[in-house]
Amino acid sequence: MLLAPPPGSHVIDACAAPGNKTSHLAALLKNQGKIFAFDLDAKRLASMATLLARAGVSCCQLAEEDFLAVSPSDQRYRQVQYILLDPSCSGSGMLTRQLEESGTGVPSKERLRALAGFQQRALCHALTFPSLQRLVYSTCSICQEENEDVVQEALQQSSGTFRLVPVLPSWPHRGLNIFPGAEHCLRASPETTLTGGFFIAVLERVEVPSSVSQAKVSAPELRSSPSPAPKRKRRRRNAAAAAASSTLPCTKQEGN
């Protein structure tokens, strides 16, 4: 819902299986446009294909491929303006998993570092798609290392090309205040929202003001166009030289 791609858009679901998010995207698109869905798990992709077929989704292309290996310069993705990135995470916000699987409470520091490294690479990679306008990054984790830290690093690496978008202003639980703008992120937890733990950040490309673009275009033209004054000066110098040459002896001709 927060990605909000209009019908006809080209969208990437970077870590797609088992397909619930993808089918929701197709519904938002009204089955118009194109969804490129990537996942490395062949078994989960097969289940996803069944789910999408049952839902009547016809605008989706499934690929058993690592999103990190997908080239942003590939012509197939030149119109992609929206990306949903919900990568593998610790699942530290999933209460049902903690109840069903022993030892799945607080993840170890080593596991968090490994997951955060992958998440950061995936987010930075997604931001390099040339036509990208809007991206949603989400996890079912409550750990800062997988959430605010990943977003902060990606924003720093994008060098001002993308910014966090303030969304759902009435939502009570915001991002941890560890960098300016982190409050635009959304959090959920059993304690504050009576839900499972979750994190969402919405990033948008920063638009360059038209006046700045026009200045960049005009500047080279101004530099390359000679001013009228030097032309007039050159004409006067040429005329003076011609007059002077008509009054001077032609020594070379006399020598010949």
Q: What share of the chain is helix, strand, coil (3-state, %, to 5)?
A: 45, 15, 40
Quick one: pLDDT band at residue 209, thresholds 50, 70, 90?
low
20 labelled binding-site residue: yes
What are the φ/ψ torsions at residue 137 (nearest 5 degrees)?
-110, 130
Q: What are φ and ψ of residue 255, in 5° steps?
A: -65, -35
User: What does pTM read for this prediction?
Assistant: 0.80
Give the per-residue pLDDT at 47: 95
The annotation status of 238 as a binding-site residue, yes or no, is: no
Question: E strands along the chain, which residues?
Answer: 10-13, 34-39, 60-64, 80-85, 134-139, 162-164, 186-188, 198-205
Side-chain-facing half-sphere of 38: CA atoms under 13 Å: 21
Is residue 215 part of an annotated ligand binding site? no
The hierarchical CATH code for the domain 10-205 is: 3.40.50.150
Residue 245 has pLDDT above 50, yes or no: no
**Any idea which residues carry the catalytic annotation?**
140
Q: Please tell me the predicted confidence (pLDDT) of residue 96.
A: 76
ω before 180 within 30° of 0 (cis)? no
74 labeled part of a ligand binding site: no
pLDDT, tens only, 58-79: 999 999 999 999 999 999 999 9
pLDDT by residue (tens digit) across 32-66? 999 999 999 999 999 999 999 999 999 999 999 99
Separation of alpha carbons 236 and 118, rounded Å: 70
The model's pLDDT over 84-130, given as tens digits with 9 standing for 90+, comes to 999 999 999 998 766 665 555 678 999 999 999 999 999 999 999 99
Domain ranges (residues) in the chain: 10-205
pLDDT level of residue 217 (50, 70, 90 thresholds): very low
Q: What digits encode the pLDDT tens for the residues 133-178?
A: 999 999 999 999 999 999 999 999 999 999 999 999 999 999 999 9
Instruction: Let me know if 15 is exposed, middle or buried by CB neighbors in 10 A (0-12, 13-18, 19+).
Output: buried
Residues near 62 by Cβ (< 8 Å), separated by ≥ 6? Answer: 16, 37, 39, 45, 48, 49, 52
Is 39 marked as a binding-site residue?
yes
Q: Are 13 and 36 in contact, with CB atoms under 8 Å apart? A: yes
What does DSSP assign to residue 106?
Answer: S
Positive or negative CA dihedral for 57, 61, 62, 67? negative
